[in-house]
C-alpha cells in the first residue's frame, strides 16, 4: 500500500502526534518521516495488528450545561493520535 503521503499539510496547527509532536513539525518533516512510517504501517497491515499505543485515546469530559452536577451533564470528547486518525481515514476511503 502507498502510505508515503499522509496529508500532514491539512492538519490544524494545534494538532499533536503522540501527544507531544506538533503538526507543523510533521508538515515540515513529512519527506523524511514518510518512508519509515510507510514501512511501519505496511507491517501493521500485513500482520493484521495495530500497536496498542495507536489504540489509546484520552477522554476529556466537557460540560454540556453551565454548572454540571451529574455525569450526564458532561459530553465525552475523545482525543486520538494524529497517526491513528490518518490511518483510519485512509482505510475508510480505500476499503469502505
pLDDT digit string (tens) for the chain, length 96 residues: 555 455 555 555 555 555 566 767 777 887 887 788 788 888 887 888 888 877 788 888 999 999 999 999 999 988 777 777 777 777 788 888
Crossing angle for the helix pair 23-47 and 82-95, to the nearest 10 degrees: 50
Q: State the Cα–Cα distance between residues 15 and 24, nearest whole angstrom.
A: 9
**pLDDT for the residue numbered 45:** 79
pLDDT of residue 11: 54
DSSP assigned state of 11 = S
Pair 21, 15: CB distance under 8 Å: no
pTM score > 0.75 for this model? Answer: no
Q: Which three cell numbers stand for residue 35?
A: 518512508
Amino acid at each position: 500500500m502507498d502510505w508515503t503521503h499522509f496529508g500532514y499539510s491539512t492538519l490544524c496547527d494545534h494538532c499533536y502526534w503522540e501527544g507531544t509532536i506538533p503538526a507543523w513539525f510533521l508538515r515540515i518533516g513529512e519527506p523524511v518521516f514518510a518512508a519509515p512510517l510507510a514501512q511501519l504501517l505496511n507491517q501493521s497491515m500485513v500482520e493484521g495488528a495495530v500497536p496498542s499505543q495507536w489504540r489509546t485515546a484520552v477522554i476529556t469530559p466537557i460540560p454540556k450545561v453551565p454548572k454540571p452536577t451529574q455525569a450526564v451533564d458532561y459530553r465525552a470528547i475523545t482525543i486520538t493520535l494524529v497517526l491513528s486518525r490518518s490511518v483510519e481515514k485512509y482505510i475508510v476511503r480505500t476499503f469502505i
